Amino acid sequence: MASKTNYGAFYHAFRDISKLVHSGKTLREVLQRVVWKSTEVLNAKGALLRVLNPASNQFEVAAAYGLGELYLSKGPVSTEKIVSDLNGPDRVVVIEDIWKAPRVEYPQAAWDEGVRMMLDVPLTLEEQIIGIIRIYLSEHRNFCEEEKSFMVYIAEQSACAINQVRFIENQRVRYDQLALQTEKMSALGRLAAGIAHEINNPLAGILLFSTNLRKKVQEQGPLKEGLDVIIREAIRCKTIIQELLEFSRNREPRMVPSDINEIIKKALSILENEFRLQRIQVSKNLTTQIEKISLDENQVEQVLVNILLNAIQATPGQGKITVKSDMNSKRNIVKVVISDTGCGIAPQHLSKIFEPFFSTKEKGTGLGLAVSYGIVKNHQGNIEVASQPGKGACFTITFPRHKESSQGKTR
């Protein structure tokens, strides 16, 4: 049976689906419209759209039209059979004999549905097949090139819709994670402030009386050793409390025009002795194409010192730490990259290193990177880390290039 081209129907169906793709409708609505319109325009019995599930590596039903529940209940199909004939130059596969086609997994069920012929069109993204539209016909017929082209265009729109929804879903997951992290840090900050103030006074008394007692005991003996332990641990607690207070304050940055290269140099000079003692080689690669941006110099210096200290502690003797700066005019950012050749960070820890109180160090408080993260975010910047165990870590900090007002504040 020959087909008669209905260009008007093609145009209206394509426009209808395209509008849905870009209207913010749900993926289910878009794909359901695809199978409906495809069936209608091609005068077919029905249509089925399957999408690849990366977890199971199977094509699962995402939308269907004109098919019975018994056929649809057959479930997903394997990747191998679906993609076997779809990588060639002809992107539309016409299945004239459903009994002999290896890609048809349930020929008896299809026959019982009244299907005598099928048409398969792949959904591709960057040369990867992510889905397939199958058209079901109750009689044999010939398809003209216009009909095949129409289905290819519809498949492209479907792939675009799937890609768009997946991107939005990924962004939503990322946003939810950041919102949860922010809420958690805010709650912990308030809790930390309360605990720190409650502990600070009795701790000061412990430190004062133990120091006075230490002066009155003999230089040798168990009493002196015990007092030394008390004093040392009390000082350690005091340091932790000070970090808690810094974490909880979340002070607004005092923005002034600043040269990021100069801040980097100050941070490196502060840790110069540490580098020498640990026999760590420091490499600087600071761009000369830099301009001043709005920063709180003290806070940014604190961030750099925190990250450099972590790099020192993670890098064995004779290791290397590299510090780079760069300015990207197109993205309107200034970037600082600190990398080391140390032990690296385990994959399961990468998502947690900016969380308060998370630390893999024996005596770490887990607040240094949490404070640094808060400072960078208060600058409307971003901080990211990449690492492989045994191959070091790389921290990338970006700050926006703000315009300055006459008072030196950002706007």
pLDDT on residue 244: 64
- Comparing CA positions, the residue from 374, 377, 376, 358 lying closest to residue 366 is 358
Ranges in the chain, pLDDT < 50: 1-2, 89, 403-411
Question: Which residues make Cβ contacts (< 8 Å) with residue 379, sequence separation at least 6?
Answer: 253, 255, 295, 296, 299, 300, 399, 400
pTM > 0.75: no
pLDDT on residue 395: 92
Other beta carbons within 10 Å of 177: 11
Other beta carbons within 10 Å of 98: 18
Q: Is 10 helix (H, G, I), strand (E, B) or coil?
A: helix
Q: Over the stretch 311-328, which tens digit does the pLDDT of each residue have?
A: 888 887 778 999 999 988
CB 408 within 8 Å of CB 255 = yes
CA dist 320 and 240 (Å) reads 29
Q: Over the stretch 296-316, which tens digit does the pLDDT of each residue have?
A: 888 898 889 889 988 888 887
pLDDT on residue 409: 44
pLDDT on residue 279: 87
CB 345 within 8 Å of CB 387 = yes
What domains does the chain contain, in order, with CATH numbers? 7-169 (3.30.450.40), 253-411 (3.30.565.10)
